[in-house]
């Protein structure tokens, strides 16, 4: 069932753009702890896969500040499991549940798809329920290998035409996803596939199988089942289309009703924010105003942290209209949640338990990665300051391991770092970052050159 898209990615580091006032040999400080220029330079210089440039060093400094703040809070005895904190940190999940319930109440329950509408949609042909058998072709294949794939596809096709089993043919399907679904692709709309595939598929009468169709992906045999055999999933597809239309209508009306209007310079501010989110996370510059509210750069950066990676990558080449469309969609998400909240939609205790369990798993994973055991800290360090000092050392060691194998560099859960760092004094020095770059480059240049490989291949 199509819902309002509620993006639940994870990503991003939280930063501070304040002027740095600590010692010149310090690159970052957080909650009384300091990361020295020489120490970060040593860590980076010893990790040959880490490029020595300003952006990388800056990210590492922010990551250290977040991890240090987290570790020292745990060492002080705070479990970070307060329900209000969980609701704040896990706001994308909480809002997703609330908006989903609101959508069901507002739209899904109003959609009543009649069998006659399903019949009409099936005959109209703008949607097709399709299956296919694919014999895949890749650029690395030789001409002989490609010819063999075509011959296999033609053999499968002849067997099907002669009354052979679709299930048997599907066992030779190179499309693993389709093969695992009985050779079915599900509902396909016009424009969703490459032209050759679409032309053949949308010309098929119900119950027919196509000839072998060649595309850049290989050789396809396309099947269009009869409606009686796929009525239930096709009905759900029709319901989804109706739902999307109502979604779009509701969203357009909501934007008009709230009088959403972008401010001059909004596009330029959005570009600056996604290019340097660390430095704009506190900006209150208004991108768009609306009745009883506004959407700021800070709001945009907050959403930027949970947008899927592919959308964040597209921002680099997006034009002005596309950036405004994205901002408009985010404003719509904000307004829909407000509407849901006003309608009295709340998460249930069971829904909160599921969200809280996911949050706890993230904390446990990070504590284990840091080797941060509150019980052991309390056992070997009797006072809070001593435990916090040890926690700071563990972060240092964790960072050193992480730059050598970035898969181990687990971040503080999104938005938890933001919440924690609002409670402590912390800064990152831009001039300190520049000194780390210079020092790390000098240290790496002074390292002994790696030995040349011996003739005759790898040493056993």
Measured over the CA atoms of residue 331, residue 336, residue 341 and residue 346, the dihedral's sign is negative
pLDDT at 11: 32
Measured over the CA atoms of residue 423, residue 425, residue 429 and residue 433, the dihedral's sign is negative
- Which residue from 434, 405, 336, 344 is spatially nearest to 55, judged by alpha carbons? 434
In the structure encoding, which two tokens stand for residue 424, read together? 């402590």
pLDDT at 277: 85
pLDDT at 23: 64
- Which residue from 30, 72, 33, 67 is spatially nearest to 388, judged by alpha carbons? 72
pLDDT at 184: 94
pTM (predicted TM-score): 0.68
Beta bridge partners of 222: 132
Within-domain flag for 179 = yes
Helix (H) or strand (E) holding 361: helix 349-370
What is the SS3 assignment for 48? coil
Q: How far is CA 154 from CA 136, 212, 215, in A?
A: 13, 6, 15
Within-domain flag for 120 = no
| 124: Cβ contacts below 8 Å, ≥ 6 apart | none
- What is the rounded distance in angstroms from the CA atom of residue 37 to the CA atom of residue 26? 5
In the structure encoding, which two tokens stand for residue 172, read together? 């030779």
The neighbour count for residue 140, using CB atoms within 10 Å, is 6
- Which residue from 101, 144, 79 is spatially nearest to 345, judged by alpha carbons? 101
Do the beta carbons of residue 132 and residue 220 sit within 8 Å? yes
| Domain of 214, in residue numbers | 125-230
Give every residue of the chain whose pLDDT is below 50, as ranges: 1-22, 456-460
- What is the rounded distance in angstroms from the CA atom of residue 178 to the CA atom of residue 216? 18
pLDDT at 30: 95
pLDDT at 452: 55
Within-domain flag for 374 = no
Give the DSSP per-residue string, 378-406: HHH--SHHHHHHHHHHHHHHHHHHHHHSG
- What is the rounded distance in angstroms from the CA atom of residue 314 to the CA atom of residue 69? 33
- What is the rounded distance in angstroms from the CA atom of residue 365 to the CA atom of residue 371? 10
Within its chain, how far is the Cα of 291 from the centroid?
Answer: 31
218-223, strands of its sheet edge to edge: 184-189, 127-136, 218-223, 209-215
Residue with tokens 């009883």: 292
Beta bridge partners of 189: 127
pLDDT digits (tens, 9 = 90+) for 284-338: 999 999 999 999 999 999 999 888 888 888 888 999 999 999 999 999 999 999 9
pLDDT digits (tens, 9 = 90+) for 119-137: 998 888 788 999 999 999 9
pLDDT at 262: 97
pLDDT at 280: 86
- CATH number of the structural domain spanning residue 221: 3.10.50.40
Q: How far is CA 42 from CA 132, 326, 418, 438, in A?
A: 56, 41, 28, 11
What is the SS3 assignment for 292? coil
- What is the rounded distance in angstroms from the CA atom of residue 266 to the CA atom of residue 259? 16
- Which residue from 26, 23, 38, 19 is spatially nearest to 68, judged by alpha carbons? 26
pLDDT digits (tens, 9 = 90+) for 215-239: 999 999 999 999 999 999 999 888 8
Within-domain flag for 338 = no
Within-domain flag for 325 = no
Torsion of CA 202, 207, 211, 212, to 10 degrees: 80
Burial of 236 per CB tally in 10 Å (0-12, 13-18, 19+): middle
Within-domain flag for 452 = no
State how many domains the chain has. 1
Within-domain flag for 28 = no
Within-domain flag for 413 = no
């Amino acid at each position: 069932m199509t819902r309002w898209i509620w993006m639940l990615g994870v990503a991003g580091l939280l930063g501070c753009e304040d002027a740095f006032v600590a010692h010149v040999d310090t690159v970052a400080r957080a909650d009384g702890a300091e990361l020295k220029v020489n120490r970060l330079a040593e860590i980076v210089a010893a990790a040959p896969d880490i490029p020595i440039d300003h952006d990388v060093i800056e990210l590492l400094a922010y990551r250290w500040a977040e991890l240090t703040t987290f570790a020292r809070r745990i060492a002080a005895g705070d479990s970070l499991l307060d329900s209000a904190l969980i609701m704040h940190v896990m706001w994308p999940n909480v809002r997703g549940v609330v908006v989903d319930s609101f959508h069901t109440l507002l739209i899904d329950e109003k959609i009543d798809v009649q069998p006659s509408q399903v019949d009409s949609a099936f005959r109209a042909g703008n949607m097709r329920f399709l299956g296919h058998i694919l014999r895949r072709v890749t650029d690395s294949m030789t001409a002989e290998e490609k010819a063999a794939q075509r011959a296999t596809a033609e053999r499968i096709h002849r067997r099907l035409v002669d009354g052979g089993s679709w299930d048997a043919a599907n066992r030779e399907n190179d499309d693993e996803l389709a093969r695992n679904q009985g050779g079915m692709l599900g509902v396909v709309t016009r424009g969703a596939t490459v032209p050759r595939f679409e032309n053949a598929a949308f010309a098929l009468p119900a119950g027919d199988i196509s000839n072998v169709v060649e595309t850049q992906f290989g050789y396809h045999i396309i099947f269009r089942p009869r409606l009686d055999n796929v009525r239930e999933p096709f009905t759900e597809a029709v319901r989804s289309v109706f739902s999307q239309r109502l979604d779009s209508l509701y969203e357009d009306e909501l934007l008009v009703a709230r009088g959403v209007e972008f401010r001059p310079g909004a596009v330029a501010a959005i570009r600056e924010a996604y290019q340097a989110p660390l430095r704009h996370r506190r900006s209150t510059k208004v991108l768009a105003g609306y009745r009883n509210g506004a959407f700021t750069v800070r709001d945009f950066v907050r959403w930027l942290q949970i947008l899927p990676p592919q959308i964040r990558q597209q921002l680099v080449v997006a034009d002005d209209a596309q950036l405004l469309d994205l901002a408009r969609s985010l404003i719509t998400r904000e307004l829909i949640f407000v509407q849901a909240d006003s309608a009295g939609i709340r998460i249930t205790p069971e829904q909160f338990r599921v969200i809280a369990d996911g949050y706890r798993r993230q904390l446990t994973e990070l504590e284990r990665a840091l080797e941060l055991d509150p019980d052991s800290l309390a056992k070997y360090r009797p006072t809070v300051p001593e435990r916090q000092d040890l926690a700071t050392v563990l972060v240092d060691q964790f960072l050193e391991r992480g730059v050598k194998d970035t898969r181990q560099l687990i971040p503080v859960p999104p938005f938890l770092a933001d919440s924690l760092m609002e409670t402590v004094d912390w800064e990152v020095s831009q001039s300190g970052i520049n000194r780390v770059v210079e020092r790390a480059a000098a240290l790496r240049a002074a390292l002994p050159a790696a030995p040349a490989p011996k003739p005759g291949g790898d040493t056993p």
